[in-house]
Structure 1
């Protein structure tokens, strides 16, 4: 019977994959129904033939096993049952049909389902074929009722079996020869979604996503597996590279690269749906005992319009996506920073209501995007969720050409889009190496954006980067650097590994290509390492690092010198206001709806900056930029801030708080420490830890870095600190400098995503010694986040 399966020979019209599956189901149902009548499996016989597996799901493939259960009434004699079973099974064996069969009463079948996860998953999809309908209905209904009743006790085992299967079979989307059935994002995961829905823990096959969702992805995988059977001439779940071109042609989708792209899209769609499904099911599990009396989870505020609810990032009830263009990036940034997943309801609401970001983007939208990218590998699942629901493409329409695009060489581990996200994640660990961490992360995200369009991807990508940079509202000079990063992202590794570094012409060629720009050089250096690390194992090593490092060193010698940070000019009107010796605080709207400019004019003192920054931090104001200077005994300081929620407090309140701090009536640093501890405790609860002191909220992606620059003025130096942000960091830094006896003459502060670039001009006339600089450096590094320590060899990293 199987050897003559429709569409499997060259006779007549060749059925497509879906048509072949339907023909196989019809053929087998007809034969089984006819044979059942012949052997006495009739409506009132006490026998019922039930299909599970592929036939039960109506997804029978050319060489799939035939999974059948022969149910019988307990009153029937054993010899009668045996005779009927033999008459049914032997013709199938004679036809060389792979048969997975069992003969059971309904209680026996229920006992098996109650003790074996794979068995119950199959029975949840059981379907009556012939015989006593009431017997089949009794089994199918009882299995489903028992599954719903016992799901709380069986849920952990179900998920553990799923994760074990994933570890064994890998991810379909990023595997050269994927397991279509058992791999992550495969057909068994669709079965898992059906099982969660049958337990009434989820609504169905997951959230709606562009392109047809799970149903469309499921059909795509089924079609590929159908053709795989047809090409191989036997049952096979793993797609081998040698068969990919033939299968792609049979499905009329193109070559093996087109097939790989279809598989990646389908598998990632299913994987995302499974993640959402497991999370939703876990939250929906029925409670026991006193758990039933527990109050519903509260909605804890996380940011403007964003809350935490049931372990997920959700939209606040008063959020207005249509009126808040930066809400998508803010939700994403919060999710990446907290490690919480974005709830499917929030994603659906954003997809339905959030507007396109107009050119230029609001500045806070760019800032939140940088926070997202600066979160390291915590950004990967967040961007994946945005991408699978169409929101990432709304931010970056150019992403469509690289989405699920397979690599053209074996050294690459990831699809092109995932490689770009991985590169940005690695680059977040190098942000303190460069003076422009914002451009490093954007360049990492976009460096291969030109692939999939034909032509030199570096040239095409540079044009797209210019387009994207302008749309984001970057300064024209920054757009030029971003475009140059994409255009020349291969310049350093290709030159270092293929050219003679002893030849001055080699160095001159590199310097000329980058226009002699030291900022671009350091950005390309960091990008080269991030790109290599994100490509695959062994691509970055000591040999390559040494060669590129030597190339960069020689280029710097040729370019000879870097520009020192300079103070911003003081506004004469503000200088005039300081003449009366009083304290003045003004607050005005800044460049966007969520940023304000706070200007403070006050008598200068060593502790003033620490107090000003502390007051701002205590009132939930994050300092984005600051320009700090003094004139004839008056400090003139301007801060651009972003409130954590809502709008900033009144200027009068900030002035009163600053006066209290100056008078010693307000212990800012004790309050800041308490606020920091509260955030750590909240973070501990998010991660399920009862040890707030062990929560890595002060861990950084990138190690902090202190740079010293001498100036033409004796004993005046410029200190540049590159580090990751934390609550009240500027206040802590100013206090540390004060404690060390360093007089701050002026300062420029920039927060770029999660990274701060703070420049302080210091008067060290009292002790301008190496020891003094080391003491200052230690004091500053003591208050900034540091990288997570490496686990000890043999330690449990789980």
Structure 2
């Protein structure tokens, strides 16, 4: 069957006969060869533009027909190459009686050879000659290449003899793989046939086992580069785990080992069933559609599905709203389900390959340790749990849970064919199975395993058994949240959090989480904690408060799992309040007694406090790389210690004094100063300052102030590797506007403030601590960059130039946050503190946001006592503790409304209406 026989209405794309006649007329003209060539290129350029326009129209009309569009681009490229070749030989380099060596075949390789190209894919071709290239062949090849380049195509090409082609294919895995998909395009067919025969005889005869091992190692390395998860929220459609390249790898292996010609031949080879072939083709078609849309939207070879593109692709592919899910979230859920299908197919494909090609007692793929022959009725096939017969799950559906419990208990892998059977039979899990006490006990054993629960739960999820057994969990499988904060889908985030909890308990992360590890030995409700981690995000995507809805789900599920009434109530409380500790730690002033009082009023018991801390830690850390840092660890530890002391002693002031004494003792040890010098520093430092700051920052501040002497202003910086940021310390006489001018100076040189603390010593000297990163989210470093920052802060404090105009003259690069629309909000609260008005601002994160908000506070004539900066991806949440200029709370309704208006204007920024032409800081 011809390669493009399935492509409809081919002549509407490009009519080679009509174009050939027009080229013949151009070639027969009397103009110079150069003029005729230029005229031919112009004709073909218009033909290519028309073909691309027609393919774009077809993609818009049928946005999910990915393979058809990919084939269309390859078909058009074929016709262009044939026309250019024929025109070149007929009119530019005609040969009378060419020798046997003056022959040439043009071969498509790689994806083009497979007959699949996105709109801006490379055109990968090979020019093959029977022997050493002749001057005629070199002229023809050069002319064809220049014509393709003039058409605007990106060409990857090689020019080799048959012997060179075979030799290089034997030595180079990449070349060998590209030639696996080689296809004759045009030229001398005999040369192509000779090259193809040599390739089969001399290259495909090489050790297939090594080829498979090499391709799988190459795949694993690629996955690692791309994040090593199918569930990263900005996936690469081509190279990522579960993407097109994984499907291509299966085909390459099948082609190399079994000589299959098409994907359909994998069924005949026994590597896929017909059902699995249909899944393969559906996933491939859908992923190709997404890739074609990406190229069409960006006008380039873009394969990464970034946030800004996800929304556009979802719209193009006609995804609509559903309750609790936006169109882009539904689109991305479908993406992850397809990526999961690719992973499932990979497992069964390799299992079939291993069974067919493995020698007796020896696996075709890398071996694992051997095991006994049977276990609880399950078979053991070369160290993997397998099924004794196809009806094993149907005879007792509880075995669908038991196989994973056994895998956990005995540290076994599950045979891919058993996984396939589990996927097939997962529908057997009905209400009867879900209510079965044995099934629930087995599930709870896996969930609370001291070994590696995350891996086994992930297998259970991939087999769809997890979602069938816990339908509420099934609703969040492959569900993403369209934001920059969460790096994984909800189900993957949850499983990662459970895995982290097990590692902390085992002591594997003792250095990172010493407090959480120590607490495991003191808690009375270990399994409550694991169940709470499982359920904390289970109600996402339903609309409404997922914490409250999750608490209701916990009340229903926990009794089924076998938990007691008191355990059930505790799980429900943890799920309802799983954001409580991070909210207090990151958005409230921990030096304010009212913060601790309010938090303890919610928690009420030490057991709850311990469980909540560990739930909070794994929830944050499982969000993704770079989210957890030492700063957050310190804030959570400070809140825990303060709350624990109150719960133990029953009096906040007593606990506060104990914390202060402990902090001073630690600081004394860290500084190792003479007693007189140290006592003088502590005497002039307010207690809230000493309590709020970590020991290392207090030590940095103390040394900075000691070196400052009588100078009116001092600026110092310290790189903090743990936090991935630079600590910028500014000491100066306190005065109105100090904070916002420092912030503006930092913004002027491209610094991004991720946290800020403001303190005034008894001497009247203000010490302001800023944690600063560069625009890439790294520590702000470099001698010259830091010198520029210090100079900018000095100029800003001296008022040497209007800050707003300087920032307006410095256009700031577009950020990924531009893809999100966030409506700014301002909330003032006079109950959160006994001494201060607490104002929280929610806005889209952008350069200079904090400086703009600080300037608004200055203009509103209020005194800023502390600022607490939290960033959740594209969303910034900045909390300010304020008084009026007399040191009193702001209670006037009119004054509060004016303050909120100032802050809202600053949060929006100029022209914050989605107009990307003006993205400047306030």
TM-score (norm 1): 0.61
User: Are the counterparts in 2 of residues 366 and 472 from structure 1 also a CA contact under 8 Å?
Assistant: yes
- For 2:461, the equivalent position in structure 1 comes to 387
- Please, which of 434, 458, 467 is the counterpart of residue 523 of structure 2? 434
CA–CA separation in structure 1 for the residues paired with 2:423 and 2:232: 30
**Cα 1:489–1:241 shift into 2, 3 Å:** closer
- Please, which of 6, 9, 22 is the counterpart of residue 71 of structure 2? 22
Question: 1:435: how far off?
Answer: 2.0
CA–CA separation in structure 1 for the residues paired with 2:590 and 2:60: 61
Question: 1:172: how far off?
Answer: 6.5
Question: 1:387: how far off?
Answer: 2.4
CA–CA separation in structure 1 for the residues paired with 2:274 and 2:56: 40
- Please, which of 508, 532, 540 is the counterpart of residue 451 of structure 1? 540
Question: 1:498: how far off?
Answer: 4.3
Aligned counterparts, 1:84-99, within 5 A: 84-99=140-155
- The answer to whether residue 603 in structure 2 is matched with residue 529 in structure 1 is no
**Cα 1:310–1:147 shift into 2, 3 Å:** farther
Question: 1:121: how far off?
Answer: 1.6
- For 1:6, the equivalent position in structure 2 comes to 52
- Please, which of 134, 138, 152 is the counterpart of residue 78 of structure 1? 134
Aligned counterparts, 1:132-281, within 5 A: 132-133=188-189, 135-140=191-196, 143=199, 146-147=203-204, 149-171=206-228, 173-175=230-232, 177-200=234-257, 213-253=279-319, 256-274=328-346, 277=349, 281=353
CA–CA separation in structure 2 for the residues paired with 1:144 and 1:346: 35
CA–CA separation in structure 1 for the residues paired with 2:237 and 2:381: 35
SS of structure 2 residue aligned to 1:365? helix
SS of structure 2 residue aligned to 1:238? coil
SS of structure 2 residue aligned to 1:147? coil
- The answer to whether residue 315 in structure 2 is matched with residue 315 in structure 1 is no
Question: 1:501: how far off?
Answer: 6.8
**Cα 1:556–1:134 shift into 2, 3 Å:** farther
- For 1:697, the equivalent position in structure 2 comes to none
Greater RCO, CA 8 A, separation 6+: 1
- For 2:437, the equivalent position in structure 1 comes to 363
- Please, which of 476, 492, 495 is the counterpart of residue 421 of structure 1? 495
**Cα 1:136–1:473 shift into 2, 3 Å:** farther
Task: Tell me the alpha carbon deviations over residues 425-480 of structure 1, each in whole angstroms, 9 at most, x when there is no partner.
Answer: 22234454432222221111111001011100011112222333344454444333
SS of structure 2 residue aligned to 1:181? coil
Question: 1:317: how far off?
Answer: 5.0
Instruction: Give the CA RMSD over aligned residues.
Output: 4.2
**Cα 1:346–1:496 shift into 2, 3 Å:** same
Task: Tell me the alpha carbon deviations over residues 388-435 of structure 1, each in whole angstroms, 9 at most, x when there is no partner.
Answer: 332222112222332222245434332211111111122234454432
- For 1:544, the equivalent position in structure 2 comes to 636
Task: Tell me the alpha carbon deviations over residues 596-618 of structure 1, each in whole angstroms, 9 at most, x when there is no partner.
Answer: xxxxxxxxxxxxxxxxxxxxxxx
- The answer to whether residue 212 in structure 2 is matched with residue 123 in structure 1 is no
TM-score (norm 2): 0.53
- For 1:108, the equivalent position in structure 2 comes to 164
SS of structure 2 residue aligned to 1:7? helix
User: Are the counterparts in 1 of residues 441 and 562 from structure 2 also a CA contact under 8 Å?
Assistant: no
CA–CA separation in structure 2 for the residues paired with 1:460 and 1:314: 39
SS of structure 2 residue aligned to 1:179? coil
The number of residue pairs the alignment matches comes to 555
- For 2:376, the equivalent position in structure 1 comes to 304
- Please, which of 570, 575, 579 is the counterpart of residue 486 of structure 1? 575
User: Are the counterparts in 1 of residues 110 and 177 from structure 2 also a CA contact under 8 Å?
Assistant: no
- For 1:645, the equivalent position in structure 2 comes to none
SS of structure 2 residue aligned to 1:101? strand
CA–CA separation in structure 2 for the residues paired with 1:512 and 1:210: 56
CA–CA separation in structure 1 for the residues paired with 2:476 and 2:284: 22
CA–CA separation in structure 1 for the residues paired with 2:57 and 2:281: 32
**Cα 1:316–1:557 shift into 2, 3 Å:** farther
